[in-house]
Amino acid sequence: MKLSERKRQILSTIAQAPRTARHFTQGQLHQITSPDVIDRWLLQMAEYGLLYEDNGVYHITAMGRHALDQKPTTATMRQMDWKNTTYDPKKHQDIGTSFQRPGSDHSHIKSYGTAC
């Protein structure tokens, strides 16, 4: 299960002390979310094994603590085209300052622009 920032925040709060679902819907966190959404998220995390429910109170499991210890995944740039070559950020090449779309080299066209 990929934890979003909001789910990670809920899991972190439950790791500090067992909480009820109402704790998350009554404005205790920075963003108030619909009770239905919170219930769905808690059920998803319980089904995945990150939490368990006991008499309406959610507790964290060892698998949940392990999920919190993992580094959050962020989206990264895979590659981009630059001046008839492909830039791969893993190689840390110097790509200069001007970016162009593939096949958009218009250096042969004379510019008639006016100076500012």
Q: What is the pLDDT of residues 10-60, one digit of tens each?
A: 999 999 999 988 888 776 555 667 888 889 999 999 999 999 999 989 999
What is the dotted CATH code of the domain comprising 5-69? 1.10.10.10
Taking the C-alpha atoms of residue 61 and residue 107, their distance in angstroms, rounded to an integer, is 61
What integer pLDDT is reported at residue 97 of this predicted model?
46
Q: Quick one: what percent of the chain has pLDDT higher than 90?
A: 29
Taking the C-alpha atoms of residue 116 and residue 112, their distance in angstroms, rounded to an integer, is 13
What integer pLDDT is reported at residue 70 of this predicted model?
87
Q: Quick one: what percent of the chain has pLDDT higher than 70?
A: 59
Picking from 87, 6, 88, 20, the residue whose alpha carbon sits closest to that of residue 53 is 20
Picking from 116, 15, 99, 104, the residue whose alpha carbon sits closest to that of residue 64 is 15
